[in-house]
Amino acid sequence: MHIPDGILPPTVAIGGYAITGGMIWYSLRKINQYGDPSEQVPRASLLTAGFFVASLIHIPIPPFSIHLILNGLVGVVLGYFAFPAILIGLFFQAVMFQHGGLSSLGVNAAMMGIPAILGYHLFQLHQSFPKSQRWTSVFAFLAGAGALGLSAIIFTVLVVTTIPADMNATLERNAIYLGLAGYSVQALIEGTFTTLLVSFFQRVKPELLSHSIDK
């Protein structure tokens, strides 16, 4: 899902950096409302590392393979820390493994970070229902699957609408739409993975969910 350098027009890449800059500013403002933000840095570092490593885990779904994103999980666990965490993870993915690129870093961060924040708020809706593991699991699944699904839709729209003139537009669109079908399967995988991890954290390390589970 990472958009590499050279695919997007400069205006789109610059717009991506503007959106990411605004989201970082807003996220930092919200983080400062947590009390002592430094207390949450270890948790944010852990999830940043997890997001970074997830790009190395490939799942074969013929005729292609996908790699985990886990932006929904990052959003559920970190709240507004998710956007800076995803930006840092994407930067190191681009520099070390050429996943994405530096010119498209702003677009990639917005494409994955905004759905992560929305996934966090979606997960918060479980608090409006009777307090039970079932509702927590339902909204954890929706947050994990929904964040990935929204990122996939944004990716598809961006790439389809910016296909270079020297490429076969029809062939490229068909390949992109086929990839979107693969991401729908991945959304189910990530929703399930998010549900399992949230349930695990509740049992063994509930403080990791201190901003997501009822206090």
Q: Each residue of 99-146: pLDDT tens digit?
A: 788 999 999 999 999 999 999 999 989 888 888 788 889 999 999 999
Cα–Cα distance measured from residue 68 to residue 120, given in angstroms and rounded to the nearest whole number: 18
Structure token digits, residue 103: 């010119």
For residue 200, pLDDT over 70 is answered with yes
According to the model, what pLDDT value does residue 65 have?
62
Q: CA torsion 93→95→97→99, rounded to 10°?
A: 60
Question: What value does the mean pLDDT of the chain take?
Answer: 84
Contacts 24+ apart (CB under 8 A), 39-47: 40/78, 40/81, 40/211, 43/77, 43/78, 43/81, 43/208, 44/78, 44/81, 44/84, 44/85, 47/73, 47/74, 47/77, 47/78, 47/81, 47/82, 47/85
According to the model, what pLDDT value does residue 175 have?
72
| pLDDT band of 33, cuts 50, 70, 90 | confident
Confidence (pTM): 0.87
Asked if 19 and 106 count as a contact pair (C-beta separation under 8 A), the reply is yes
Structure token digits, residue 214: 């009822």
CATH 1.10.1760.20: does it fit domain 10-209? yes
Asked if 151 and 69 count as a contact pair (C-beta separation under 8 A), the reply is yes
Q: Which amino acid is at 128?
A: S
According to the model, what pLDDT value does residue 174 have?
74
Q: Domains of the chain: which residue ranges?
A: 10-209
pLDDT in tens, 35-91: 677 777 777 887 888 787 777 676 666 555 667 888 999 999 999 999 999 999 999
pLDDT in tens, 175-192: 777 777 778 888 998 999
Cα–Cα distance measured from residue 207 to residue 37, given in angstroms and rounded to the nearest whole number: 15
| pLDDT band of 166, cuts 50, 70, 90 | low
| pLDDT band of 205, cuts 50, 70, 90 | confident
Q: Which amino acid is at 88?
A: I
For residue 215, pLDDT over 60 is answered with no
